Amino acid sequence: MAALISNNNLKLFQLINSLNASNNTYNFTENELQVLQNQLSFLKRNSTAFAETHRNFKDCAGRFTHFARIYAAYYHPYFAIFVCVFGTIANILNIVVLTRKDMACAPVNRILTALAVADILLMVEYIPYVYYYYIALPKSLDFSYHGAIFMLIHVHITQIFHTTSVCLNLTLAVWRYLALRYPARKYVICSEFRCTVGIGLSYILPLILCIPTYTALSITTQEIVENKTKYTLYHTDLSEIFKANTTLLQINFWIYAVLIKLLPCCILTVISFWLIRTLFNAKKRKQVLRSCECYALTEIGRPRSDASKSERSADRTTKMLVAVLILFLITEFPQGIFAFMIGIKGKYLFLECYQLFGEMMDILALLNGAISFILYCFMNKMFRRTFGQLFKKRILGWTLSTCVHGQ
């Protein structure tokens, strides 16, 4: 997702500074004071850019930074869990509907099914991360080795599955473009086999594209003494190679920004505009045909309603896919632009701004995957009909049985 490294160091620094700035007197025992000093030393070691970051904090996005900090501190964990639970259920319903026999025959629906699977995996993994990082860890401050391993796995898994979603959205856009650009050959170009290959590559390529991220992060340790007992704290941080070589870190962000974010977004933007233009052209053709006094007849003398029905269905599908792509672009472009700017300005912008808005970008990405069910219901007539056939009788039967037993 958006933030690669924890920004808890910055938050705890601000808490300690607020305590120091107040006029109250705090009664600490010698052991409590030693623990506080150990924590401060640990945070200072891993926040070398804090002073510079704090001085230039206002440069990120003005007043919006305050909103981002309030949201991250008080609302994000609970809202994210709600979105993940809702999105998981919604995407399970998507899979149930899209895999029905009359729906699964369309390659586009197979791609949408694969996209729902990737979103489910992303959200299911994000729930324990939110609980551990935002709820459990601030209470216990137990920086265990297993916790650091979990954070490292979380970073890689979310990055892989999010990149998978990018690849699947790109496959979806290219697939629809080819089907409309070459209608006479669409059954050859957009075959079942090529659809399977496209979905398979969308799941395999992210494993390769995310290799720079694997090497950028590592688990680091810090030893502290508490009650004359030595403890080792573990946390996820930039690897020593990337800390020592800022150019290498910038190259990493350039790869992330260009290959995984901006390039797919630019391609999706071009294809989306082409699809929108195609819809407008189709609408103009229909208006011209309606203004004609004569109607095209079939061989048996009846209007070609089947052809127009097929065209209307294709237009509805295109509109739905355009909405999916535009929603995806809204969530992806900010991350791509951020990463691109980090590639130019370096580690300073990453520490100051990128992680500050990490929770905002995370929730946008989660919402993008969660509301697809609502989008399909509003914009796809066949999806609504199939959903109704599957669940309407069950819901009515459950309601009637409940009423009967209740009486």
Does a structural domain hold residue 300? no
Facing residues of 232 across strands?
223
Strands 229-238 and 217-226: antiparallel
For 352-405, the pLDDT digits (tens) are: 676 778 888 889 889 988 888 888 888 788 888 888 888 776 655 554 455 445
Does a structural domain hold residue 379? yes
Separation of CA 307 from chain center: 38
The whole domain housing 52 covers: 8-15+35-286+310-401
Does a structural domain hold residue 22? no
Whole-model pTM above 0.85? no
What's the CA gap between 195 and 172, in Å, rounded? 10
pLDDT of residue 284: 73
pLDDT of residue 309: 59
Does a structural domain hold residue 272? yes
What's the CA gap between 77 and 404, in Å, rounded? 41
For 228-243, the pLDDT digits (tens) are: 777 788 878 777 777 7
Q: Is pLDDT above 70 for 3?
A: no
Question: Where do the DSSP E strands lie in 227-283?
Answer: 229-238
CB 91 within 8 A of CB 372: yes
- Which structure tokens are listed for 178? 């080819």
Query: When comparing pLDDT for 227 and 90, which is higher?
Result: 90
pLDDT of residue 30: 57
User: Which domain CATH number covers 324?
Assistant: 1.20.1070.10
Domain count within the chain:
1
Does a structural domain hold residue 406? no
Cβ partners under 8 Å of residue 326, min gap 6: 272
For 320-349, the pLDDT digits (tens) are: 778 888 888 888 777 777 777 766 766 666
CB 97 within 8 A of CB 386: yes
Does a structural domain hold residue 27? no
CB 90 within 8 A of CB 48: no
Does a structural domain hold residue 389? yes
Does a structural domain hold residue 301? no
pLDDT of residue 308: 58
**Residue 225 — φ and ψ, nearest 5°?**
-115, 125
CB 353 within 8 A of CB 340: no
